[in-house]
Structure 1
Amino acid sequence: MRESKTGRAGTRRSGTRRRVLGGTMAAMLAFAATTVATLPAAADEGDGGPAASDLAGNWAPFDRCPVDDPAMLDADGDELAALCLASSSESGTMTIGEKTVPTAGTDLQFGLLGDGVDYTTVSPGGTGIEADPVKVPGGLLNLMCPSDIPVLTTLCERAAGSSLNTVTATVEPAGDPSDFNLNAGLSTGQPIVTLPIKIKLDNPLLGGNCYIGSNEEPILLEPANAEQPMLNLVRYAPDGTTDPTGVMSNIALSGADQVDDSFAVPGADGCGLFGALDWAVDSQLGLPSPEGANSLVLHSADTTTGGFYTPANFTPNQGEQLADHWHAAHTD
């Protein structure tokens, strides 16, 4: 049937793509199976992530996978495989210049389209990363005080000992993830993905639109494994039930910190009335801050990639089947 559209040369090219897709994925799965025999088992994917999921069993990590995106639905299991990816960390730290603040729970999800070698990401509605807000230690007094500038001295005095001192920082997406490297996720020291983010600072005196980084000038994070992660492979039925012969599979990587010390941080924007306090935030944090002066550590990151166990075989309308199975796994 395909030869009537493309001819024999097209059929040969399609067969080559299937061999690349199938061969690369098979090698990765074989590596996973071998590694499972020598490493402690990771937590069962059916346990879910840091947030509650309404997906059953081993589908639980992927509650925001963009399975209905047209690009994902078009995956044919021939030229492209469709996968879901979820990565989370409960805690960590981010250092900007001389200031270090904790990170709270982070949850990164996106879809993957790949031929076994190269992958493109598909974000769930442009919000691939979600993060819990954290209180900045020391609040506004730590962020802008002390100061010998009269206007700041007045703000510091007003903030001291009151709710005006509380500053909440929240990581938000500033664009779509890109440059995903599957092999980097299995190794150490290689950037796994590029994440454009911005940091919102909430405080009554800073206003509601105070950001470090923006969509136009994002902070570009490129996390890499600091040590070899533990690896676990599980196969399951389309409904999410663990099944050693199931057509679906998850590859879970866990236990390794993810780090990055290569990113630059731009100046603050929108802090105070008409941005009148941008310079104060910049002065205290040393912004803009160049590459090498900042760092990120995400403790014990858990990363799970899920999809068909043999993505190049028996799934000609793979993207549609992936979406059907995902929707059927919803428990409410």
Structure 2
Amino acid sequence: MSPLSSRTRLATVSALTALGAFASLGTATAAEPALNGEWAPFTRCPVDAPAMLAADGLARTPQCVVSTSTSGTIKLGNTTVVTGKTNLQIGIVQNADGTSSVVAPPGGALIAEPATVPGGLFGLMCPSAIPVITGICESLENSSLNKITATMESVGAPYDFNQTAGILTDMPIVALPVRIHLENPLLGSKCYIGTAANPIVLRPENRDYPAFDMSFFQGNGTVDPAGEMSRINLTGSTQNDSTFAVPGATGCGLNVGLINLAVNAKTGLPSASGKNSVTLDNTQTYLTGLNAPGTAAPRAGEVLAQHWHSATR
């Protein structure tokens, strides 16, 4: 397959590469492998997942996607948090009928640095008209117990892909169900905004067009214009969603009911659609796959996995 036809084919699925827009925070994972050359960003691509291995290269084409951002913000009700580095990685199975499905890594699709909530626990629930909470507020001011971090976690597979939206602007790209884990000694270990049953569902959109370029490489990651692998690079775009609703906090503190009530009252939760937003700045997104998966049929998924493993070091 020529470089031009490869570019045309991969551009069709480049909508999927905007996925990093909605990863504001994330969870930690085990140590990731180091990969050579052009494979380097794809440390968590789920190449060994059954759905990826079963992709035959004809009816189903396997690909890897990674999207990162070094900064951004998320606003939930009355609270805005500055986010740190984010990283979203998934496998994509592109179907011949134009649909696609996502395959998440074993540890979840997104990870990132936890963010510090402004004002800590004091800012999150004080002042309060609840006497018990007032006592906690008095003990929190200038206390080391005040610090609170927020971590966003995937709670389900992404869905509702719009391939065209990924290379355009102001169109929802995909739906991502998440929850936010609030951590502080007084909140306990099960304090969340959103749950698996009632998640926050983010639907990111490009606010500007990303820069586009493409590279070719051998299966082991070595750059080669005649290589069997292609990589699309989409960089520099800002992505945003302000349509999602946010449920109230649950599971917070030993006296769960009172702490939930105080956090929700001060933070303005639950918060309806239009009152919340997430923005990721300068997203860097990469998509890779076989140049001509049909030539590897019916083992395209297995060949992709072999190439990924050959690049580990």
TM-score w.r.t. the length of structure 2 is 0.88
Q: Is the 8 A contact 1:53 1:60 kept in 2?
A: no
Residues 225-283 of structure 1: per-residue CA shift (max 9 Å, x gap): 11000111011000101111111011111100110001000110000115231111110
Instruction: State the distance in 2 between where 1:88 and 1:178 align.
Output: 19
- State whether structure 2 residue 86 is matched by structure 1 residue 106: yes
1:265-308 deviation per Cα after TM superposition (whole angstroms, max 9, x unaligned): 01100001152311111101111111111000011111111111
Identity in percent: 47
Which structure has the bigger radius of gyration? 1
Change (3 A) 1:300 1:53: farther
In the TM superposition, what whole-angstrom CA distance separates every residue of 1:183-212 from its partner, at most 9, and x where no partner exists? 222111122221111101111111111000
Which letter does structure 2 place at the counterpart of 1:101? V
Structure 2 stretches lacking a partner, 5+ long: 14-30
Q: What is the letter of the counterpart of residue 249 of structure 2?
A: A
**Whole-angstrom distance in 1 between the partners of 2:32 and 2:169:** 30
Pick from 317, 322, 327: which aligns with 2:299?
A: 317
SS at match of 2:150: strand
Q: CA deviation at 1:315?
A: 3.9
Residue 11 of structure 1 is matched in structure 2 by none
More deviation, 229-238/304-313: 304-313
Paired with 1:94 and 1:290, the residues of 2 have a C-alpha distance of: 15
What root-mean-square deviation, in Å, do the aligned CA atoms of Structure 1 and Structure 2 show?
Answer: 2.0
| C-alpha separation in 1, matches of 2:186 and 2:119 | 15
Distance across 2 between alignment mates of 1:52 and 1:257: 27
Match of 1:146 among 127, 148, 151: 127
Distance 1:270 1:297 in 2: 27
Alignment of 1:126-145 (within 5 A): 127-145=108-126
Matches of 2:201 and 2:217, distance apart in 1:
35
Conserved 8 A contact 1:26-1:310: no
CA distance in structure 2 between the aligned counterparts of 1:279 and 1:24, rounded to whole angstroms: 57
Q: Is 1:197 aligned with 2:178? A: yes
Distance 1:191 1:249 in 2: 26
- 1:26 to partner: Cα distance: 5.5
Q: Distance in 2 between matches of 1:28 and 1:300?
A: 25
C-alpha contact (below 8 Å) 2:53/2:302 kept by paired residues: yes
| Partner of residue 306, structure 1 | 288
* Map 1:25-36 → 2, pairs under 5 A: 27-29=8-10
- Superposition pairs of residues 1-332 of structure 1, within 5 angstroms: 27-29=8-10, 54-115=34-95, 117-125=98-106, 127-276=108-257, 277-331=259-313
> C-alpha distance in 1, partners of 2:193/2:296?
48
Q: Is the 8 A contact 1:121 1:180 kept in 2?
A: no
Larger RCO: 1 or 2 (CA < 8 Å, sep 6+): 2
User: Equivalent residue of 2:173, what SS?
Assistant: coil
Amino acid at match of 1:96: L
Number of aligned residue pairs: give it: 291
What are structure 1's unaligned runs of at least 5 residues?
1-22, 33-50
Structure 2 CA distance, aligned partners of 1:90 and 1:251? 20
